[in-house]
Structure formats: C-alpha cells, structure tokens
Amino acid sequence: MSVTVVGSVNEDVLVAVDRLPGRGETVVGRSVTRAPGGKGANQAAAAGLLGPGVHMVGRVGEDAAGDRQLAALAGSRVNVSRVHRTPGLPTGTATIPVEEGSGENLIVVAPGANEALSPADVDVEPVHRADVLLLQLEVPLETVQAAATAAGGTVVLTPAPPRALPDGLLSRVDVLVPNEHELVQLAGAAPGDRTPAELAALARGLGVRAVVVTLGARGALVVPSGDGPALLQEALAVDAVDTTGAGDCFTGALAQGLAGGADLAGAVRYAVAAAALSTTGPGARGALPGDDDVRAVLD
C-alpha cells in the first residue's frame, strides 16, 4: 500500500491585518505566523497521517524554511528522501495577509525551488511503484506530465491552480479531482450555479476516466467512467472552523482509500469524512485526522 505525491512544498507566511491593503498602500500587520503549506505537501501530510507508505517528491531551498518543511512532512509520517535541497533558490513561499474579523485574504505565491522540479526528478522508484500517484499544478507542467507518464499505478490529478493543460495529460489521468470552480474553468464553461446533473455532464465532457468534483459543504460528486450514474456523497456535518486545505485533505484521504483497495465510491466516502474533520481546526494542517478518527465517524 503506497502513495506518492509529486508537487509543491511551500511555507505559508500569514500576516494578521486590520484590513487588506489597496494597490500601492502599506498597512501594518499585527502578527506573523509561519505554517507548512503547498498543495503537494498538504496532500502528502494528510495521506501520511492516515496511513503508511507515503513519499513526497519535490524541491525546497537550502534555507531555514526548507528545514521547517522537511521536519513538518517527516512529522506527518511522510518519507522525504526525494525532497531535494536546491542551491540558489529559496523554498516556495506564500505570503497571505488575513483580515481579522472577516477572514478575507490575499495570496502571493513565490514558487522558488518548486519551479526547479524537473522531469528527471520524477523518474524515480516511488513514482514508478506507487499504488496511487497524486499530482497538482503548482510545479512545472512538463514535470507533471512526465510523472503521469512514468506512473505505474493509479494517477490522481488535482487541476489547481487552474491552467491550460498540455495535450495528452488528461488521457493519462485515472481520477481527476477538481472543485466546482476548477471543473467549470477546465470545461471552458461560464461561471454560475449548476445542479449535480449539470456538473456531471461537464465532467463527462472532459474525456477523463473518472472525475470526483468536490462541492465544499455539499460534499462530493462521483462521476465514474463509462455510463454509470453520478453519485452525490453528502458532506459530513461538522462545526467547520477553517476550510483552508479541505480539498488537499480530501485528495490525500482519497489516495489512501484507493491504495487500500477501496473502490472509487468507498474511497470518496472515506475522503468526505476525513476532509470534514480537517475543517474543525485552524489552517491547512491544524486538524488533519488519523485513520482511527475517520473510521470512528464512519462507523
């Protein structure tokens, strides 16, 4: 049972502000908090806390932020032997002013070492041999494509942040996991409210084997390959405190479910429960559940 994540490793620098700055304006922050981040690393941490056999493939700088990210991943039971230190580039950083009261934010990402993750870096055993390979779009697209091509197991792609995909990438993906907004962008459709049936029709038009659309507090829509009916898996009712990273936890848990032999609907049930629990604490990694926690709410 093994899961490998190829993707970004960032440090999030959260600055609490009374109000967000306008263009050209300086505002004084109240406090600074550093938190581990990056879609790839968040997915790996979620998967690692849920089960064994998780590898991360990525790049950080030769700096203190890189030390902190490696320690945070290792603390979530992720094997980091393929997270390389990159001379001359800083660890990826997301600077996020957060308005106190409203919780509104701005995000500026400096990818740093993530941009140096190369196709050669992903031509490695953890990618070839993983039961499930998780990919997102915060590292160079040619590297994402190379990883999808080199994969020996099930390929799961989160198409975020939204960007045009190279020809042939989607055809190598077994399960695509967009949120509603990402699905609409990928399908080239107009924004707007859609019913689950309309979303399923958009998902089928992408030509991917299976699509799981995450729908926030509404749960997740499973659109299987072939003509099988779409299935709406309702969210688990929780008192959500912070939904940052819920999608990353969802995908990490989906991977562990699939690696453990569950079918897609069963893995989505597990992921919906894990993602709901992850919203009950602060930040992307503040409340990631363990396997026992998820099983307790499923039983």
Q: What is the Cα–Cα distance from 274 to 161, expressed in whole angstroms?
A: 22
Pick the closer one to ligand ADP by CB: 1 or 238: 238
Pick the closer one to ligand ADP by CB: 122 or 177: 177
Stretch that binds ligand ADP, among 75-83, 91-99, 131-139, 217-225 (CB under 6 A): 217-225
Residue 286 lies near ligand ADP (rule: CB under 6 A): no
CB atoms within 10 A of CB 18: 11
Tokens of 248: 């990353």
Tokens of 85: 């230190």
Residue 272 lies near ligand ADP (rule: CB under 6 A): yes
Stretch that binds ligand ADP, among 18-26, 43-51, 82-90, 243-251 (CB under 6 A): 243-251
Residue 215 lies near ligand ADP (rule: CB under 6 A): yes
Residue 216 lies near ligand ADP (rule: CB under 6 A): yes
Binding ligand ADP (rule: CB under 6 A), the pick from 95, 105, 149, 243 is 243
| Site size for ligand ADP (CB under 6 A) | 19
Which residues are designated catalytic? 248
Binding ligand ADP (rule: CB under 6 A), the pick from 247, 257, 283, 289 is 247
Residue 220 lies near ligand ADP (rule: CB under 6 A): yes
The count of residues in the chain is: 299
Residue 7 lies near ligand ADP (rule: CB under 6 A): no
Q: How far is the CB of 209 from ligand ADP (least distance, A)?
A: 20
Binding ligand ADP (rule: CB under 6 A), the pick from 186, 206, 275, 294 is 275
Q: How far is the CB of 275 from ligand ADP (least distance, A)?
A: 3
In the complex, which residues of this chain contact ligand ADP (CB under 6 A)?
179, 214-217, 219-220, 235-236, 238, 240, 243, 246-247, 250, 272, 275-276, 279
